[in-house]
Amino acid sequence: MNSDNARILLQSTQRVRTLWAGAISRDFVCAVALNAAIWTYLLKGYVESFSANPSEAFSYLAIAAGLSSLILGLWRVFTRHMYDRIAGLYPDLLMCEQSLGVESNLGTAAYLRKTIPRLSRILLGKELNPSQKSEAVGFLVIKKSMGRLSHVVIDIIVIAVIIGMFVLCISIYSKIWLSLAVASIIATILGFLLLVFSMLSFQRYPSQAVITAAIAKYEEE
């Protein structure tokens, strides 16, 4: 690829990446705002009705827990889906930057080493040439092994929050209407299942084994 074509492709791909990354940021803000609004409104109802009607008060908590769990689960699915699309851009970004002579301590390669530390074995290793390195990253994308380390941390936190919501719903099960109790518990379970689906269906943090497989595959070519 000549430098002019590489520059054009790099610019267009970066624009797409920025657009999708912006969608992830906006969705995060929406998820936080929705959860804050739900809990602010329903906690107010809980406080105001607790002394007069405890059953009604606990109903507010059950509704908040169920809605929050669903929102968190949907948020993680959307975020993982968008990042899955972004990850598919990295091989092209690396290839274009290599064609333009961007050093490995700058640009996309530096960013990937920071957010996915295990990629340093590929991007800084001597086994592969620059072209093979971008192909190896493409191999990881196909294997759904280009997830960021921060995603693992966020997912663990969200799992803990949803489990907390489930425990809350179970603890007030006998204090509210049966239908509302069942609905809130189902909502928390759905939120949890959505989160698990997002973790298993989209890009995951790469294991050492898949990194080794990527290096071996393209080292032989």
Q: Does residue 173 have a pLDDT over 70?
A: yes
Measured in degrees and rounded to the nearest 5, phi and psi for residue 105 equal -90, 10
Which residue in the block uniquely carries the two structure tokens 């592969």? 128
Tokens at residue 8, please?
């054009």
DSSP state at residue 207: P
Cα distance between residue 120 and residue 109, in whole Å? 9
Buried b (16+ CB within 10 A) or exposed e, 49-71: beeeeeebbbbbbbbbbbbbbbb
**What's the token pair of residue 159?**
């799992």
62-95 confidence digits (pLDDT tens): 999 999 999 999 999 999 999 999 999 999 999 9
Question: Would you give the DSSP letter of residue 117?
Answer: G
Per-residue model confidence as pLDDT tens digits over 89-124: 999 999 988 888 877 777 888 999 999 999 999 998
